[in-house]
Amino acid sequence: MGVATIARNALRPGYFSEMARKVYLAGRYGERERDAGRRWAERHAEDLDAWCRARDPDLWDASLVFAARMREDAQPRADALRAAGIHLGGGACYPLLHFLVRRHRPGAVLETGVGAGWSSRAILAALDENGGGHLHSSDFPVFRHPEPERHIGCLVPPYLYPRWTLHVRGDRRNLGPILGDLARAGARPQLLHYDSDKRRGARAEFMRRVGPALAPNAVVVMDDINDDLFFAGLAAGRADVAVFWFEGKYLGVIGA
């Protein structure tokens, strides 16, 4: 791993431009708005357990049971990856994602930021329990690791693969094929989970492209909203907004 691995991955077709863009955005946006974003999230945060129980206590209990079982099954693999120096980021709020998919029963789900696959597995399992629906996921390999594609979604069991289409060339390149597939199928995502590039510019560009393709009543879940004020702007003037603290970060929900 290290510089040599990064250099080798940069030479692969389609990798260099995306790697350079991430470095550019990191330098451009940096700490800007982070303090303000955190203060906004802190002011609007509410209790996740109470919020879910107010909507469907039995379904929330079932999602918590699922999450505990999934964690027990997947944690040894995740620990082994970390021990091998493979760091794929956090797991998003997978109990909530499972709950929302079970509750809203979307036919199409769009997700960005797969990593090891915690959130993907929770969404896919909920779709499978619902007996319908498909997940379209966008990710970009962690280019400091050798053969990075093979780790993406590695926690997702094979029996869930039929409900899953995974693209691994970065959001900017993946969105065209994903939106094209959805349009040809006559489907509009009814649930969006955004957990990829956390820079304001990346979020804005993503929503500019994806917003018109979402179903009118789509549920939007966005992670790490404390990094800037983008989600605050997205949520302005809406009554159907919720903010939660989960495993060291804030996430926001619109439309649930």
If one counts every other C-beta atom within 10 angstroms of the C-beta of residue 3, the result is 8
Chain segment 219-231, per-residue pLDDT in tens: 999 999 999 999 9
**Predicted confidence band of residue 86 (pLDDT cuts 50, 70, 90):** confident
CA-CA-CA-CA torsion sign (147, 148, 152, 156) = positive
pTM for the predicted model, two decimal places: 0.86
Closest by CA position to 164, among listed 199, 194, 192, 138: 138
CB contact set of 48 (below 8 Å; sequence gap of 6+):
93, 96, 244, 245, 246
Q: For the chain, which domains are there?
A: 3-254 (3.40.50.150)
**Predicted confidence band of residue 85 (pLDDT cuts 50, 70, 90):** confident
Asked if 133 contacts 107 with a C-beta cutoff of 8 angstroms, the reply is yes
Q: How far apart are CA 214 and CA 209, in angstroms?
A: 10
| Cα dihedral 210→213→219→224 (10° resolution) | 0
Only one residue has tokens 């869930």, namely 160
Q: How far apart are CA 36 and CA 226, in angstroms?
A: 8
Query: CA geometry: angle at 198 spanning 193 and 204, to 5°?
Result: 80
**Predicted confidence band of residue 19 (pLDDT cuts 50, 70, 90):** very low
More confidently predicted of 86 and 152: 152
More confidently predicted of 65 and 29: 65
Q: How far apart are CA 256 and CA 248, in angstroms?
A: 22
Q: How far apart are CA 60 and CA 123, in angstroms?
A: 14
Chain segment 97-152, per-residue pLDDT in tens: 999 999 999 999 999 999 999 999 999 999 999 999 999 999 987 655 566 677 89
| Identity at 251, one-letter amino acid code | L
DSSP letters for the chain: --HHHHHHHHTSTTHHHHHHHHHHHHHHHTTTTHHHHHHHHHHHB--HHHHHHHH-HHHHHHHHHHHHHHHHHHHHHHHHHHHTT--------HHHHHHHHHHH--SEEEEE--TTSHHHHHHHHHHHHHT--EEEEE----TTSSSGGGGTTTTS-GGGGGGEEEE-S-HHHHHHHHHHHHHHTT---SEEEE-S--SHHHHHHHHHHHGGGS-TT-EEEEE-GGGSSHHHHHHTT-SSEEEEEETTEEEEEE--
